Structure 1
Amino acid sequence: MPGGRLTQQERRQIARGLADGLAYAEIARQLDRPTSTITREVTRNGGPTGYRADAAHRSAEQRAHRRKNPAPRDARPDPQPYGRDAEAVRAYEEMFTTAMTASGAPLMMSRVLAALTLSDTGSLTAGELSAHLKVSPASVSKAVAFLETQSMVRREREGRRERYVIDNDLMHDSMIASARSTAQLAATAREGVSVLGAGTAAGARLENMSRYLDFVSESIARAADQARAILHTKAPDNPASLKGIHEHGFNH
């Protein structure tokens, strides 16, 4: 089984396999690579629908260059509590961000959500996010505004500053927001039936669309409530080990 980094030719073969609808395991078999290698490669570079071989290869070369040329001391990963490996945390944050973008979220919104999700406090100020992500406060504010519309982040006042917060019900709230959005689309489709005529092909299409979306919306909301009731794990309330995190800057 070959080792080392994927070649540009292998990445092009991955792209062809995805275009042909092949499973990751089949692509891996053709390349004589572990399935995990293919899964990680595709997830990191846009997902099955957004994967581009040449762009993925350029990104890999850039990462290899950064490893050969370590970042200056002040750009190294943030110190970590609980004895966590700072490099491992940074690599996981990149993986989490990539997974979010592959699911359809814009890149900056994914980066902000990843940073908040991986922080033990579940909250960061604009300044902390800006410093951690090395972007402008304006970029952070724009990303937070989008995440607010998805019920994934809320704002809290902290003196003259704003603190951005995610709750332990983050995924539940997001699913409920998705259900509501789907229900609204169903209602819009239903209104079109009377406009185009129930006995027409277009009217029938809209009727089927509205029924389908209504069913999906109700199913999402019901499943989200059931999952929260059965699976939810409560996080510790202000554990002593987290004292001082706000005062000492960003820590995951």
Structure 2
Amino acid sequence: MPGDRLSQDERRAIGVGLADGLGYAEIARRLDRPTSTVSREVTRNGGPRGYRAEHAHHATAYRARRRTPLDRPTVPGEEPKVLEFIGRLTDTMVANGVPRMAARVLARLYTTDEPSLTAAQLVRQLQVSPASISKAIGYLEELEMVERGRAPQSRREHYIIADDVWMRAWITSARANASWAETAREGAALFDPGTPAGARLQQMARFFTQLSDDMSGGTSSAAADDIATILAALLHARRPLTAAELADALDWAPERVAEALGDAETYAPFTDPLALERPTPTAYAVTAAPGRLTPAQRSALLS
């Protein structure tokens, strides 16, 4: 039922529910529909006081006749399967956080055979207002996904897909993740990693640091060298050491040791076959990576 169009009987039930003073949630529960479906239906058709079931039913049918299948405006010559694909491409972008109108514009720019499209062409193809196109283009330009220019001997602006659009989006996303990581690190330091809030923020910082580094090519060579040095120091010591003891032995600043230890924990897959472990909350040691040896092999080696 959810996802299907409302029937005429359901619209009558909505009208009765509104007349009885029921809220959208209660009406939706009785119809086994999402609350958003009921609220959208009422809002589109006169609001709580002006809703009329028969009028709403005929108005919805009229709107459906004006639109093409899948609610995708057509362009002369486009095949149904092309429209279906454009719809799926749009929905995929929306599901991944792109505003719907921006997604519709981007999908059109991607699937046109023309080198570019003007605002007037986008208005005509998408059957929306010029203001909607302008807002969508502004959003896409801010993300550097669309560029504007003028064709020779033309005063009209044309919009085109940037050649490296997805690389730009990738870099923008990596920067955003780095920003999340930096803010979380500040919070962890403020609340103290030993507190529940600080621990959560520290975990958040590690997650976004790894995500950002993975997207931008991994840790820097300097960071990788520091991780290797920390592991070598612990392996050489053959006993657990605290961060302070490591800083003294390596003659490093405490912040550098803390960062290297954090990176070693965050990038555990890359330190294989070694792994960092904490025998106590403040001490660090080196052990074999968890998945490298089976329990039987570990037992045999210690016997």
Q: RMSD of the TM alignment (CA)?
A: 3.6
Gaps of 5+ in 2: 5-32, 42-56, 219-303
CA 1:93–1:199 in structure 2 vs 1: closer, same or farther (change >3 Å)?
same
* Cα displacement (A) at 1:65: 5.9
Largest Rg, 1 or 2:
2
Query: Does 1:200 pair with 2:195?
Result: yes
Secondary structure in 2 aligned to 1:222? coil
1:160 match: 155
% identical equivalent positions: 37
TM-score under structure 1 normalisation? 0.55
Distance 1:131 1:207 in 2: 50
1:212 match: 207
1:229 match: none
* Cα displacement (A) at 1:221: 2.9
2:260 match: none
Query: Does 1:104 pair with 2:92?
Result: no
Secondary structure in 2 aligned to 1:172? helix
1:79 match: 76
Query: Does 1:173 pair with 2:168?
Result: yes
Where in structure 2 are the equivalents of 1:177-196 lying within 5 Å? 177-196=172-191
Where in structure 2 are the equivalents of 1:68-147 lying within 5 Å? 69=65, 77-80=74-77, 85-147=78-140
Amino acid in the other structure paired with 1:154: E
Distance 1:53 1:171 in 2: 36
Distance 1:102 1:179 in 2: 19
CA 1:122–1:198 in structure 2 vs 1: closer, same or farther (change >3 Å)?
farther
Structure possessing the higher relative contact order (Cα contacts under 8 Å, 6 or more residues apart): 1
Amino acid in the other structure paired with 2:211: V
Contact 2:2 2:34 in 1 (8 A): no
CA 1:157–1:190 in structure 2 vs 1: closer, same or farther (change >3 Å)?
farther
Q: Kindly provide the CA deviation profile for residues 83-111 of structure 1, in whole angstroms up to 9, marking residues without a partner as x.
A: xx533222221222122212222211111
Distance 1:194 1:76 in 2: 53
CA 1:173–1:120 in structure 2 vs 1: closer, same or farther (change >3 Å)?
farther
**Number of aligned residues:** 168
Contact 1:122 1:165 in 2 (8 A): yes
TM-score under structure 2 normalisation? 0.47
Amino acid in the other structure paired with 2:88: M
CA 1:93–1:76 in structure 2 vs 1: closer, same or farther (change >3 Å)?
closer
Contact 1:125 1:161 in 2 (8 A): yes
Gaps of 5+ in 1: 1-7, 12-50, 224-252
